[in-house]
Amino acid sequence: MRTICVVQSRLSSKRFPSKALADLNGHPMIWHVVERAKDIAGVEVVLAVPVADATVFRATVSEVEIYADRGDETDVLGRFVAVARAHDAEEIVRVTGDCPVLNPAVANQVLTLFWDSQPCHFASNDTLVSGWPDGFDVAVIDRAALETAAAQATDPQDREHLECWFKRPENGMRCVTLMNPEPWTGPKKLSVDTVEDLEGVKAWLAR
């Protein structure tokens, strides 16, 4: 069974343009995400970006495959289906490019939960409810379920945010969540949406 880890990124962030290229301890932020994703067990890492951004990303993280998509850059669902088809993947680990302190150990736990919960369509450590900090976010999606979502989802929010469609009860998907068994004592937000967020991550790494 082939499992790929798709890191999604783009340069057109409204709050922090080109944040994926922002310096974090001597490397572009996206470099940190990719390097941490490589430590997720048994996955091939693919960086999925809009075609207009592909040249810049290839120069930044040349050691991983870049999948450049010509579709609407807000259609994340469509992009993930295209990558899954291109790689004939049966399971897709989803990581976002604004999580430079992604925790591979937690990602491995989400993968294990997905496998142990079969049949399962969507597993995650939903940081809104799980007790993990925003920035450790990871999801594992069944390929067949992803294809169903791509065929049925029409709401723009469902196309841009994968978890929305899967978690609607009427869609009949089995979703499981990895809960943090211990209280998290660090910062609640370790994802990067603004320059201030990036400075917060730098400060946390320095500690």
The answer, yes or no, to whether residue 173 has pLDDT greater than 80, is: yes
User: 28 CB contacts (<8 Å, ≥6 apart)?
Assistant: 20, 21, 22, 60, 61
Give 73's pLDDT tier (boundaries 50, 70, 90).
confident
Please give the pLDDT value at position 162: 87
Please give the pLDDT value at position 68: 92
Round the average pLDDT of the chain to a whole number and report it: 95
Whichever domain contains 152, its CATH number is: 3.90.550.10
pLDDT tens by residue, 112-133: 999 999 999 999 999 999 999 9
Supply the range of the domain harboring residue 27.
3-206
In the chain, % of residues over pLDDT 90: 89
Please give the pLDDT value at position 74: 83
Counting the structural domains of the chain, the total is: 1
Please give the pLDDT value at position 72: 81
Span 3-30, average pLDDT: 94
Instruction: Report the sign of the C-alpha dihedral through residues 163, 137, 105, 37, in that order.
Output: positive
Span 70-97, average pLDDT: 92
